[in-house]
């Protein structure tokens, strides 16, 4: 009795499809940031959620690049500063400004590290995808799930036509030394002549 691979539910498949389409868009991360600011606004001065700013900043750095992440790293703490200044009034402006700068610095650092890691990951994926799998026995090459000859691989992937010849080393193995003149004093003596001389 063979165990079958678990199949994902339709809801999970739809969620995965939605995430795949939504995460690379800048608007998604902006909306997540606005939702966190609204949550911060609704809960008042006693429940604070600036730590959640890491989520949209990190996602933007990974999927959209450093520019969008740096923009969110600045705008979200500024939004929290305005909420604290005009709605909550929990502390003097100097302290709120200092907190804002600290948050911007930390979020910008996270944006830098995540975007750098994302770039290195993509470069590594490109290098892995560039590897060519060659069969050790038939010398065929795997390309797009098909095993084809090296000549076909060069043609399909790089549009390079090939011709065939024989290398000097292989020609010497097959036909013996080539290009030596019989009258050439440096050419090696025939094997029977060497044998005669030694006897």
Cα(173)–Cα(170) distance, rounded to whole angstroms? 5
Mean pLDDT over the full length of the chain: 84
Asked if 133 and 141 touch (Cβ cutoff 8 Å), the reply is yes
With tokens 């959209």, the residue in question is: 64
Q: What local confidence, expressed as pLDDT, does residue 109 receive?
A: 97
Cα(168)–Cα(182) distance, rounded to whole angstroms? 20
**What is the chain's pLDDT, residue by residue, as a tens digit (199 residues)?**
444 445 568 888 888 888 888 889 999 999 999 999 999 888 877 888 889 999 999 999 999 999 999 999 999 999 999 988 888 876 788 888 999 999 999 999 999 999 999 999 999 888 877 788 899 898 899 888 899 998 898 888 888 898 888 888 888 888 888 655 555 555 555 544 444 444 4
Distance from chain centroid for Cα 31: 26
Q: What local confidence, expressed as pLDDT, does residue 53 receive?
A: 95
Q: What local confidence, expressed as pLDDT, does residue 10 receive?
A: 83
Q: Which bin fits 54, alpha (ψ -120 to 50), beta or left (φ > 0)?
A: alpha
Q: What local confidence, expressed as pLDDT, does residue 29 receive?
A: 93
Contacts of 1 (CB under 8 A, 6+ apart): none
Q: What local confidence, expressed as pLDDT, does residue 194 receive?
A: 44
């Amino acid at each position: 009795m063979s165990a079958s691979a678990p199949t994902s539910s339709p809801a999970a498949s739809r969620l995965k499809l939605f995430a795949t389409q939504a995460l690379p868009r800048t608007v998604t991360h902006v909306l997540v940031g606005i939702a966190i600011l609204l949550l911060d606004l609704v809960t008042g001065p006693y429940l604070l959620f600036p730590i959640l700013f890491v989520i949209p900043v990190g996602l933007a750095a990974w999927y959209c690049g450093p520019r969008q992440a740096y923009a969110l790293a600045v705008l979200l703490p500024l939004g929290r500063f305005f909420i604290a200044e005009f709605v909550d009034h929990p502390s003097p402006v100097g302290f709120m400004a200092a907190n804002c700068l600290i948050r911007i610095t930390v979020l910008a650092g996270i944006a830098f590290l995540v975007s750098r890691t994302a770039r290195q990951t993509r470069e590594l994926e490109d290098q892995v995808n560039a590897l060519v799998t060659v069969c050790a026995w038939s010398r065929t090459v795997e390309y797009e799930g098909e095993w084809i000859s090296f000549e076909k691989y060069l043609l399909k992937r790089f549009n390079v036509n090939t011709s065939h010849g024989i290398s000097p080393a292989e020609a010497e193995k097959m036909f013996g030394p080539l290009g030596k003149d019989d009258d050439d004093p440096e050419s090696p003596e025939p094997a029977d002549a060497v044998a005669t001389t030694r006897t």
